[in-house]
Amino acid sequence: MATSIPEVDVNSRLKGRSFTRVADLDADELVRVLDLADRLKELQRRREPHPLLPGRALGLIFQKPSTRTRVSFEVGIAQLGGTGLHLARGDLQLGRGETIRDTATVLSRYLDGIVIRTFAQADVEELARHADVPVINGLTDSAHPCQALADMMTIRERLGRLHGVRLVYLGDGNNMCASLMVAAAKLGLHFVAATPSGYEPPREVSELARSAAAASGGSVELADSPEQAVRGADVLYTDVWTSMGQEAERERRLRDFAGFGIDERLVQLAGDGAIVLHCLPAHDGEEITEAVLHGPRSAVWDQAENRLHAQKALLASLIR
């Protein structure tokens, strides 16, 4: 007996497009993906099958370690009725000098979509330029757009809204900060990045976000005092202080980021009912304390789960 497919609202104008950074989608498109993610989460909660992509094949090129990104995409495509194929660096001729263009051309003949987690953003953009199927950025040194989608889903789920929410990011102005800033700006949040001097997000990202915020009614602010930044916050957000590839800088970074970790003191300075987010993995006692991570204000585990639902919505929206 054929499985009936529940009625869902998939934005057909996204079909065939890539998602290499948050800026690839406008505010309405982001909201449509989030709405679909909510619907798919509800269907999954009810154990109601939703094979929106039957028979489709998704390639997963992973040149960096991964827990949440790999598992959520593999499980996600399976729940949508398709198949995920994990492609480690050593499995591909990319590791032996084949060009990104040639790899994109060949994989497009086999696959219906490609997720890539790698170092250089330029490599993702080149892959998308030459592929005939959607390419999704699973993380680069410059951006983490899929995580930002799950973050917006979690904030809306917990607070009931996005527009007007005060979201304070503390720590390194890294790839996570950059993607989160642009997503927040597009969706009308008031975003504050509180970073030590020298660790601000890239200027071009801040300028892009400020332009988006001007159109959405949101705002973007850079700060260097965590205590001042968190006052009145609805959401506190942090990420690791030492990302992959920065291990040699660890001791210096621990000194530079002293005082920027989310602990009970900073949570108390935030607004009543403020939630705490962290994209994980977490380092207890550095960017966040265990008491906060596992405490009553933490929405981190819902946030991690929502990677699955947000990415399923993205796959269903992009793959033909």
Catalytic annotation on 307?
yes
Q: In terms of DSSP H, where are the helices of the chain? A: 27-45, 68-79, 100-110, 121-130, 145-159, 175-186, 203-216, 226-230, 250-256, 264-269, 290-293, 300-318
pTM of the model: 0.96
Same domain for 270 and 312: no
Same domain for 55 and 137: yes
Catalytic annotation on 13?
no
* Segments forming the whole domain that contains residue 261: 148-303
Catalytic annotation on 130?
no
**2 lies in some domain:** no
Say whether pLDDT at 3 is over 70: no
**237 lies in some domain:** yes
Say whether pLDDT at 241 is over 80: yes
Percentage of residues in the chain having pLDDT higher than 70:
98
**3 lies in some domain:** no
Same domain for 238 and 158: yes
Same domain for 185 and 109: no
Same domain for 295 and 184: yes
Catalytic annotation on 28?
no
- Sign, Cα dihedral of 193, 278, 140, 52: negative
Same domain for 242 and 95: no
Of all helices (H) and strands (E), which one includes residue 135? strand 135-139
Q: CA nearest 192: which of 222, 213, 218, 216?
A: 222
Same domain for 157 and 238: yes
Identity (one letter) of the amino acid at 131? A
Number of domains, the chain: 2
> CA 161 from chain center: how many Å?
18
**115 lies in some domain:** yes
Same domain for 287 and 183: yes
Contact indicator for 39, 8 with CB cutoff of 8 Å: yes
What is the C-alpha to C-alpha distance for residues 184 and 163, in angstroms, rounded to an integer? 9
Q: Please pick, among 144, 156, 166, 253, the residue that the annotation labels catalytic.
A: 144
Secondary structure (3-state) at 67: coil
Mean pLDDT of 53-75: 97
CATH number for the domain spanning 36: value is 3.40.50.1370
Listed in sequence order, the residues at least 6 apart from 164 whose beta carbon sits closer than 8 Å to its beta carbon are 188, 189, 190, 217
Q: Please pick, among 32, 117, 253, 297, the residue that the annotation labels catalytic.
A: 117
pLDDT value at residue 271: 83
What is the C-alpha to C-alpha distance for residues 320 and 315, in angstroms, rounded to an integer? 9
**125 lies in some domain:** yes
Q: Please pick, among 68, 166, 307, 309, the residue that the annotation labels catalytic.
A: 307
Same domain for 120 and 34: yes
Chain segment 79-102, per-residue pLDDT in tens:
999 999 999 878 888 877 899 999
**271 lies in some domain:** yes
Q: Please pick, among 112, 151, 172, 239, the residue that the annotation labels catalytic.
A: 239
pLDDT value at residue 1: 42
Q: Please pick, among 56, 63, 70, 147, the residue that the annotation labels catalytic.
A: 147
Q: In what order do the strands lie in the sheet with 83-88?
A: 83-88, 57-62, 113-117, 135-139
Say whether pLDDT at 242 is over 90: no
What is the C-alpha to C-alpha distance for residues 22 and 139, in angstroms, rounded to an integer? 12
Q: CA nearest 219: which of 193, 196, 195?
A: 193
Mean pLDDT of 284-292: 96
Chain segment 190-239, per-residue pLDDT in tens:
999 999 999 999 999 999 999 999 999 999 999 999 999 999 999 999 99
**6 lies in some domain:** no
Same domain for 170 and 131: no
Is beta strand 57-62 parallel, antiparallel or unpaired with respect to 113-117?
parallel
Chain segment 159-185, per-residue pLDDT in tens:
999 999 999 999 999 999 999 999 999
Same domain for 247 and 225: yes
pLDDT value at residue 244: 67
Same domain for 295 and 157: yes
